[in-house]
A and B are shown apart, each in its own frame.
Chain A
Amino acid sequence: MSASLRPIPSQTPRACCVQVDGSGRPDNVDGCVVEAVREEWRIEEGWWGVPCRRRCFALALADGRICTVYEDRRSGQWWRYGA
């Protein structure tokens, strides 16, 4: 059944450079290797007003940092929250 989506952390996202593997999951963010994809979620809403289509990932990076990135499916641009 339906559930409310938890909001993405409220900091302003910044553009980032992401390399993906064959299934489209990030394996490198801004030059840092992704150690694990902790979770993937997808957003497709607002189609009646301001459409929002995103593929989001919670990542653990090889340098120990945690971050959330998402791909804007409309523009293809990757954005990053967190460290």
Chain B
Amino acid sequence: MAPDYVELHCHSAYSFLDGVAQPEELVDRACALGYTALALTDHDNLCAALPFAHAATAAGLRAITGCELTVEVDGEAHHLVLLVESRAGYTNLCRLITAAHAGTRAADGTVARLPSVRLEDVLTHAEGLTCLTGCPDHGVLRSDDPLVARTRRDLLLEAFGDRLAVELQRPFRQGAERQLRAFERLARERRIPVVATNDVHLHLRRRGPLQDVLVAIRQHASLDACTALLRGNREHVLKVPGELVALFADLPEAVAETRSIAERCGFDLTQSLGYRPPERENDADRELKELCELHLDARYPASSPWRQEAVERLATELVLIRRHELAGFFLLHREILELARDVALEIRGTDAARNVLPPGRGRGSSVGSIVCYLTGLSHIDPVAGRLSLGRFLNEELASTPDIDLDFPRDIRAELIRRIHTHYGDQQAALVGAFATYRAKGAIREIGKALALPAGDIARLAAASDGWSAEAVGEELQRVPGLRDRADDRRLRLLATLCGQIAGLPRHLSQHPGGMIVSDRPLCELVPLQPAAMAGRTICQWDKDAVADAGFLKIDLLGLGMLSAVERCVSEIHRSTGSSVDLSRVPLDDAAVYADIQAADTVGVFQIESRAQMQTLLRVQPTCLDDLVVEVALVRPGPIQGGAVNPYIQRRMARRADPTIPIPYEHPLLEEPLRETLGVIIFQDQVLDVAQALAGFTPGQAEALRRAMSRRRSRAGLEAQWLAFAAGAEERGVPDHVARTVFQQILAFSAFGFPKSHSAAFALLAYQSAWLRHHHPAAFLCALLMEQPMGFYPPASLIRDAERRDVPVLPVDLHHSHVEARCEGAHAVRLGLRQVVGLGEEDAAAIVAERDAGGPFPDVRSLANRLDLPTQRLQRLIAAGACDALGPRRQLLWELGLAARPLGQGTGSQLAFDLQVGEAPQGLPEPGAWELLVSDYATTGVSVREHPIRQLRPLLGDDLLDSAQLALLPHGAPVVIPGLAVARQRPASAKGIVFLLLEDEHGLFNLVLMPDVYEEHRLLARSEPLLLVRGTLEHRERQVTVRVESLAPLDLPTRRALPTEADVQQLRSVAPPPQHFAQGRRRA
């Protein structure tokens, strides 16, 4: 028999810092406790509503969609719970939540107010919704004045009628019973039903401390400081239904009402919401066919060797598109590309050099489609490139495929605004994404809640690998100074709580590029809220929920290298007058491949990382096809699938003897794996292998890939294996071979590129390598302008360019422009924007004043003519930008005494141009080391002598430098100093850590085995200046130091400058090493 009680007021972690359970955990717990239905009512959002509904349906639990809405009444924020009965009710709830969030962001993106909706709005959107009056403390009926409470009750009653219930809770708090009786009286007076709820915030009682911590995090305070705001007990847990029945034994009608409301709320969110993309006036199939045929002759003229194949492929694709009713989907993307073209024209202006470039490029599996190629949605010829279609489009398509488009950042930013305008703010929105807790954030926030010493928090955060917060407990065992305090209760609590908070959502943010557009207001389908960036709207669902709801997602991705390439082309044109058409650069430039083969690729798209460089040395790419493989090779999929080393070894063997046979697991795999020498490197090869070995259809094969990649379920994989094994057996494949290949597919599933995606990226990789080789100065300018991007900090990019004979000139008040620019034949002049603390507007103002009024003869002129705060002028001087005007210390002295006109600077000086005389004589000028430290502190880069070169004379004679490493034999002992540039601890490397160090001659690689890393963890993670002892490893052109010990670079105190104190200064300002696994990206 079904229990009498249904929980109708329940929060998940998506109430953001007011709930600890993932929706799936609530479902599991509810099922275990014997519930047959459960409502999810997060604060002011439906973020988890869809995953909750799907998880519940799969588990046989009926999901009730709802929300605890914040309502503004009489100037106070109150809560009420709205539960969805019907489609109309769902629409009303979405509209109300959207209204609650309207205006919550100020123009600068900061939070302007918390979400809330007026009670009047709720009353006019009551249709299809059941209303519960909320909790004892914040419920809408809570008022010290009974008349006020009655007035609100009557308003709700008039709007909701018999769909209103007064909520009663027994939270076991002192005074709650009196409040319950007051609510009960309000209900009885008007014969309104009462309903029992438990305002659930925990799925397990033992998670109570985490809920308390979330409250403290929300309050930015310690637990001690916000005790009064905590719940005080753990009764707000999801309880056994019978417990609530017993608790309300004196009010059985309140329990019975939960069931009748649950029966009334039959709306099923997993069913179609009626979404449709914007409709087209014409026959979309015919329009798309005509568009493709229009471009077919130009792309594949009669003389083309690919003509016949292209015609056949187009016919096949158009049939599939018609069958899946996707013509409108393609045309919509085409329409957005046309919008992008308009935007690009406006942004690029009259810059002829950039105007020859397309507004964007395709990436991902859609690059394999000839329809995308012909409609401009891809720039890669799929026929000539032998790109397969099945991953993108096949007979048994399970969901709408993705067409991903890359744009330069400036075009993308404007395009998003333009799409909102074009389709209407109500009908376009960005897809949401949830920022979740990882190790460092968890350590900092929970540490603060527990009032741990700031030093302990900082030390642990610095030592943490930053992955899952679940690992914090283990990491604590390894941090010197903390590992010895095993009996420290708060540290133990920190570890436990970090484990519990791991993966919980912290807030809603925006997906990097996904947008949805609709033929009707989106706020009827999913709640919307303003993004931090003005003019943008986010929907409350992430990409998975959007896909589950059947919404069409358009991916508009910002690609830093695309921006950099455009900047580079512009800078070449500006500085030399020549135009570069990237679509026409030769793809077989031997000099470019020589760089690539030598792994001289710092700054090159996709092939600049340590792992890529080491692979380049072994693979020795000689053509674009090789780069296509290279780009896909160093990925978790091929690495975990065990494909990398076999591929490289076979490649090297083939280079020595082109006739050497390639071993295949089975002859049936020869065709799909020929180009990758018998191993799976591309994602689409998973599909090809499944078809060849097990006879899967393209649709079945794609289903296999999806089963492995998203929300893996053991049952799902088991079913796939059985089908695979059966198919292989039918084809005479031995069981052990089928098993081996299936395991390879399974291992591959972590992450891999489809060949089409790799082809798109390989072309950009080559183009960037070409620009770097032939226009190194312009290329460096472009990279500096587009920071942050790529894997190296600007300081390393500059050192790399200098080593390739590109002189880099410092920031100069009289020569620098806003951004870095080419100067003279081959040099680069750093831009004023490089000065930290000087914004783009400030830099532009300096350049404008210089152009209008001529050079600045002295500091007084600088101070008078520029409306900049004194501190920014001080930074300009400290950065060396004013060195032409005199010694820095003298300039700073003069600036302090210079008159500033009213309204300028701080305004604290009188506007009299007093003659203050000259600075005192004999102010000591900064030495070379001091200048270096000042460079890093004020610009993050330095064009002076490398710090290691300056230190080397003080370090002793027995230390090596990176130029000597290549000359030493394998196994030679090594002691070498260096500046940390990057570190990497790949998940696939079994605890091995890679460090990249730099000295005056270049970069060199360190390998730290797990035991060495653990011993030197803090140093490896946070010390910029290192002294390394180890053994040289020389393998197949790779030179690596296998580390035995690390030490901070200590200086003998008896020596002359720089002293240890000076080095300490550099430590505090040196650019932080990059983490290879993360890169540095911006949207």
Check if A56 sits within 8 Å of B230, measured CB to CB: no
In-complex Cβ contact of A42 among B137, B177, B223, B235 (8 A):
B235
| A74: interface (CB < 8 Å) | no
- Segment of A12-20, A26-34, A43-51 in the binding face: A43-51
In-complex Cβ contact of A5 among B79, B232, B490 (8 A):
B232
| B231: interface (CB < 8 Å) | yes
Q: A6-B174, A41-B174, A42-B233 are in contact. Are A1 and B79 (CB under 8 A)?
A: yes
Check if A48 sits within 8 Å of B230, measured CB to CB: no
Give the residue name and chain of the B residue nearest to A8 (CB): B174
| B1: interface (CB < 8 Å) | no
Check if A45 sits within 8 Å of B230, measured CB to CB: yes
Check if B173 sits within 8 Å of A41, measured CB to CB: yes
Smallest distance from the beta carbon of B11 to chain A beta carbons, Å? Answer: 10
Check if A45 sits within 8 Å of B227, measured CB to CB: yes
Check if A44 sits within 8 Å of B232, measured CB to CB: yes
Q: A1-B199, A2-B230, A4-B229 are in contact. Are A56 and B174 (CB under 8 A)?
A: yes
In-complex Cβ contact of B135 among A1, A38, A40, A46 (8 A):
A1
Main secondary structure of the interface of B (DSSP, over half): loop
Residues on B with beta carbons closer than 8 Å to the beta carbon of A83: none
Residues on A with beta carbons closer than 8 Å to the beta carbon of B227: 45-46
- Find the residue from A41, A47, A56 having the highest chain B CB count within 10 A: A41
Q: How far is the CA of A44 from the CA of B224 in the complex (A)?
A: 14
Check if B233 sits within 8 Å of A45, measured CB to CB: yes
Residues on B with beta carbons closer than 8 Å to the beta carbon of A5: 173-174, 228, 232
Check if A48 sits within 8 Å of B490, measured CB to CB: yes
Q: How far is the CA of A3 from the CA of B215 in the complex (A)?
A: 12
B231-247 to A contact mask, C-beta < 8 Å, 1/0: 11111000000000000
| A21: interface (CB < 8 Å) | no
Smallest distance from the beta carbon of A9 to chain B beta carbons, Å? Answer: 11
| B467: interface (CB < 8 Å) | no
Give the residue name and chain of the A residue nearest to B170 (CB): A40
Residues on B with beta carbons closer than 8 Å to the beta carbon of A45: 212, 227, 230, 232-233
Give the residue name and chain of the A residue nearest to B223 (CB): A48
Q: How far is the CA of A56 from the CA of B173 in the complex (A)?
A: 10
Residues on A with beta carbons closer than 8 Å to the beta carbon of B215: 2
| B138: interface (CB < 8 Å) | yes
Residues on B with beta carbons closer than 8 Å to the beta carbon of A48: 209, 212, 223-224, 450, 490, 493
Residues on A with beta carbons closer than 8 Å to the beta carbon of B854: none
Q: How far is the CA of A6 from the CA of B172 in the complex (A)?
A: 12
Would you list which residues of chain B between 194 and 218 have a CB under 8 Å from chain A? Answer: 199, 208-209, 212, 215
Check if B230 sits within 8 Å of A39, measured CB to CB: no
- Find the residue from B173, B174, B215, B493 having the highest chain A CB count within 10 A: B174
Check if B138 sits within 8 Å of A1, measured CB to CB: yes
Smallest distance from the beta carbon of A71 to chain B beta carbons, Å? Answer: 13
Check if A49 sits within 8 Å of B224, measured CB to CB: yes
Q: How far is the CA of A47 from the CA of B174 in the complex (A)?
A: 20
In-complex Cβ contact of A44 among B136, B229, B234 (8 A):
B234
Check if A3 sits within 8 Å of B233, measured CB to CB: no
- Chain A: interface size category: 20 to 34
Residues on A with beta carbons closer than 8 Å to the beta carbon of B450: 48
A-B contact count (CB 8 A): 63
B459-496 to A contact mask, C-beta < 8 Å, 1/0: 00000000000000000000000000000001001000
In-complex Cβ contact of B174 among A1, A39, A46 (8 A):
A39
Residues on A with beta carbons closer than 8 Å to the beta carbon of B176: 41
Q: How far is the CA of A5 from the CA of B227 in the complex (A)?
A: 9
Give the residue name and chain of the B residue nearest to A55 (CB): B172
Q: A40-B172, A49-B224 are in contact. Are A2 and B231 (CB under 8 A)?
A: yes
Residues on A with beta carbons closer than 8 Å to the beta carbon of B953: none
| B175: interface (CB < 8 Å) | yes
Q: How far is the CA of A47 from the CA of B233 in the complex (A)?
A: 11
Residues on B with beta carbons closer than 8 Å to the beta carbon of A56: 174
Give the residue name and chain of the A residue nearest to B134 (CB): A1
Residues on A with beta carbons closer than 8 Å to the beta carbon of B223: 48-49
- Find the residue from B136, B177, B450, B493 having the highest chain A CB count within 10 A: B177
Residues on B with beta carbons closer than 8 Å to the beta carbon of A4: 228-229
- Find the residue from B137, B176, B233, B490 having the highest chain A CB count within 10 A: B233
Smallest distance from the beta carbon of B456 to chain A beta carbons, Å? Answer: 15
Check if A2 sits within 8 Å of B137, measured CB to CB: yes
Would you list which residues of chain B between 571 and 589 have a CB under 8 Å from chain A? Answer: none
Check if A44 sits within 8 Å of B208, measured CB to CB: yes
Q: How far is the CA of A49 from the CA of B212 in the complex (A)?
A: 13
B77-91 to A contact mask, C-beta < 8 Å, 1/0: 001000000000000
B774-801 to A contact mask, C-beta < 8 Å, 1/0: 0000000000000000000000000000
Residues on B with beta carbons closer than 8 Å to the beta carbon of A1: 79, 135, 137-138, 199
Smallest distance from the beta carbon of B212 to chain A beta carbons, Å? Answer: 8
Smallest distance from the beta carbon of B29 to chain A beta carbons, Å? Answer: 19
Residues on A with beta carbons closer than 8 Å to the beta carbon of B230: 2, 45
Would you list which residues of chain B between 149 and 192 have a CB under 8 Å from chain A? Answer: 172-177
Give the residue name and chain of the B residue nearest to A44 (CB): B233
Residues on B with beta carbons closer than 8 Å to the beta carbon of A44: 208, 232-234
Give the residue name and chain of the B residue nearest to A52 (CB): B232
Give the residue name and chain of the A residue nearest to B135 (CB): A1
Give the residue name and chain of the B residue nearest to A45 (CB): B232
Smallest distance from the beta carbon of A72 to chain B beta carbons, Å? Answer: 14
Q: A3-B137, A3-B173, A48-B493 are in contact. Are A43 and B233 (CB under 8 A)?
A: yes
Q: How far is the CA of A48 from the CA of B212 in the complex (A)?
A: 10
Give the residue name and chain of the B residue nearest to A68 (CB): B174
Q: How far is the CA of A40 from the CA of B171 in the complex (A)?
A: 10
Residues on A with beta carbons closer than 8 Å to the beta carbon of B490: 48
Q: How far is the CA of A40 from the CA of B232 in the complex (A)?
A: 14
Smallest distance from the beta carbon of B259 to chain A beta carbons, Å? Answer: 25
Q: How far is the CA of A44 from the CA of B172 in the complex (A)?
A: 11
Q: How far is the CA of A42 from the CA of B223 in the complex (A)?
A: 19
Q: How far is the CA of A79 from the CA of B515 in the complex (A)?
A: 62
Check if A47 sits within 8 Å of B209, measured CB to CB: yes
Residues on B with beta carbons closer than 8 Å to the beta carbon of A39: 174-175, 177
Smallest distance from the beta carbon of A59 to chain B beta carbons, Å? Answer: 13
Smallest distance from the beta carbon of A38 to chain B beta carbons, Å? Answer: 8
B643-654 to A contact mask, C-beta < 8 Å, 1/0: 000000000000
Smallest distance from the beta carbon of A15 to chain B beta carbons, Å? Answer: 21
Q: How far is the CA of A39 from the CA of B136 in the complex (A)?
A: 16
Check if B172 sits within 8 Å of A42, measured CB to CB: yes
Q: How far is the CA of A3 from the CA of B176 in the complex (A)?
A: 10
Residues on A with beta carbons closer than 8 Å to the beta carbon of B173: 3, 5, 41
Residues on B with beta carbons closer than 8 Å to the beta carbon of A42: 172, 233, 235
Q: How far is the CA of A18 from the CA of B176 in the complex (A)?
A: 24
Q: How far is the CA of A1 from the CA of B137 in the complex (A)?
A: 6
Q: A45-B227, A45-B232 are in contact. Are A3 and B172 (CB under 8 A)?
A: no
Residues on A with beta carbons closer than 8 Å to the beta carbon of B233: 41-45
- Find the residue from A3, A6, A38, A49 having the highest chain B CB count within 10 A: A3
Smallest distance from the beta carbon of B674 to chain A beta carbons, Å? Answer: 62
Smallest distance from the beta carbon of B198 to chain A beta carbons, Å? Answer: 13
Smallest distance from the beta carbon of B858 to chain A beta carbons, Å? Answer: 60
Residues on B with beta carbons closer than 8 Å to the beta carbon of A41: 172-174, 176, 233
Q: How far is the CA of A15 from the CA of B415 in the complex (A)?
A: 73
User: A residues touching B (Cβ–Cβ < 8 Å)?
Assistant: 1-6, 38-49, 56, 58
Query: Could you pull out 29 A-B pairs where Cβ atoms are within 8 angstroms?
Result: A1-B79, A1-B135, A1-B137, A1-B199, A2-B229, A2-B230, A2-B231, A2-B232, A3-B137, A3-B232, A4-B228, A4-B229, A5-B173, A5-B174, A39-B174, A41-B172, A41-B176, A42-B172, A43-B232, A44-B208, A45-B212, A45-B232, A47-B208, A47-B209, A47-B212, A48-B212, A48-B224, A48-B450, A48-B490
9 nearest interchain CB pairs?
A4-B228, A42-B172, A1-B138, A41-B174, A3-B137, A42-B233, A44-B233, A1-B137, A5-B232
Given A3-B136, A41-B174, A49-B223, 12 other A-B residues pairs in contact with their CB atoms under 8 A: A2-B231, A4-B229, A5-B228, A39-B175, A40-B172, A41-B233, A42-B172, A42-B233, A43-B233, A44-B233, A49-B224, A56-B174
